[in-house]
Amino acid sequence: MWISCLLAFISSACTLVIEIIAGRIMAPYIGVSLYTWTSIIGVVLAGISGGNFFGGFVADRYASRRTLGLIFMAGGVASLGILVITHAIVGTTFGLSFLPRIVVYVTAIFFLPSFVLGMVSPVVVRLALANLEHSGHTVGTIYAFSTIGSIVGTFLTGFYLISWLGTRTIVWLVAIILLVTGIILAAADAPRRKGALVSTALALVIFAAVAVRWAAGHYVAPCDIESNYYCIRVLETSQSGHAARMLMLDRLVHSFVVPDDPFALDYGYERAYLNLTQAHATGRSPMDTLFIGAGGYSFPRYIEAAYPSSTIDVVEIDPAVIAVARERLGLSTASRIRSFNRDARVFLMEWTDPKKYDFIYGDAFNDLSVPYHLTTVEFNRIIASRLKANGIYLSNIIDKFEGGEFLKAEANALRAVFPHVYIFGRSDSFQPFDRNTYVLLASRAPLNRTALDAITSRDEPSLRTTPLSVDRFNAYVTSGRAITLTDDFVPVDQLLAKLFVERGN
């Protein structure tokens, strides 16, 4: 029976490996959100369920080692198809809005391998039931090993394989394991060995064809680095007439960086951060700053250059982002910037240094993928405890002003902690059209509007950092659902659902 347990272990482990890497494979194309993972989990479960059902019919009529071998070989081919189908369909809209397109992508890419691997368990159980008197023990043991395989596949992939190998190499590893297992099983069935040769040869031809394309540079991930958190790309571009580099995390352009010029800040929310920092920096020397999320280190590098006596701490969850900033984005190894590889909330709760900050800058929200635990009233209390008496917290938010719900919910979560909260946009960004990036400011002290107006008066009207008026702000944050985000109630993805539905790319 140990062979049956091993086969159940292998198929379940491979299924969960595929499920875990599915999120990373899809991230550069559709981002990482509740909707992405809901689609992945639902499609994989549907595939397993359908495979179990159909596998039961196969087990009753054709149960043999050869049949099981063919299923494993088919699973290998279907797994390798993840590379081919991903390459073929991503970027095609199918005439669908963004949300249903997520479901279509995930179904097309991951349903078939889940379905084929779902067929394994019924056939394995059927072959193992030689003695019905011990059928309960047999079935229970096989399913226990199947579950153990799922657990091993989950932890091995999440903790090690993605960072060691990258998603595409993992697909190859899974496909080869399934193919080799299938060939061994088919070859072990001596009476049917000749018939299995044709299937084996066909599978090998398919593998060889994909391998040739792979060697030619096809089916590779659109990343420079695949970390445990992001698909990281650095692209050459230009900014204000200067050679620049663009940092992309998954599908979001996160930063534009001119490696030789830390003062080159043309990205929307960074200009707002710059204006608001200048307006409130007077009298703060030395200035203590903390960044939640590093991005391309563009603004931390600006602070280092513009305020030489300042201290700069950066909490960045992904060490690969820091490595890329040092290697390609101009972050010097001699920089005064201190970087900490931690989740920001855990870091702030556990860090024993009593240091307080003049400015805390939020830059951890990745497109429409928002770490919800950094949006709540409870988190804002942690932020407040780390700010000086007149310290300022700045955070950038992507949303629609009219019709969106996340911006106002986050504003309400800040209002529950800070007496002074403001929403900033660029010129006409408070109009009811497409999504924009907004900046929230929270403090115990009021906005220095005189200083801000003096600074922004030098900018073109269309580029000015403009606060929402007090009357409009009060009406805005109390309109609609008027949710306040807390640890017990933080439906961030649902609040951003309208953006997902309306998104066109």
Question: Which SS3 state, helix, strand or coil, does residue 254 take?
Answer: strand
Per-position DSSP letters for 338-396, written without gaps between them: EEE-S-HHHHHHH------EEEEEE---BTTB--GGGSSHHHHHHHHHTEEEEEEEEEE
Domains present along the chain, CATH in parentheses: 2-222 (1.20.1250.20), 266-502 (3.40.50.150)
Per residue of the chain (505 residues), what is the pLDDT tens digit?
Answer: 788 999 999 999 999 999 999 999 999 888 888 889 999 999 999 999 999 999 999 999 988 888 999 999 999 999 999 999 999 998 888 888 888 899 999 999 999 999 999 999 999 999 888 655 667 888 899 999 999 999 999 999 999 999 899 999 999 999 999 999 999 998 876 666 666 788 889 999 999 999 999 999 899 989 899 988 889 999 998 766 778 898 998 888 888 888 888 988 877 788 899 999 999 998 888 899 999 998 889 999 999 999 999 999 999 999 999 999 999 998 998 899 999 999 999 999 998 888 999 999 998 886 667 889 999 999 999 999 999 999 999 999 888 888 778 999 999 999 999 999 999 987 665 665 557 889 999 999 999 999 998 988 887 777 788 899 899 899 999 988 889 999 999 998 888 877 777 765 6
Record the pTM: 0.88
> How far is it, in rounded angstroms, from Cα 100 to Cα 491?
20
Report which of 180, 410, 394, 441 is spatially closest to residue 290, judged by C-alpha positions. 394
- Tokens describing residue 169: 């190499």
| 412-433 CB burial, b ≥16 within 10 A, e <16 | bbbbbbbeebbbbbbeebbeee
Give the tokens for residue 396: 């950038």
Q: Which helix (H) or strand (E) holds 53?
A: helix 34-62
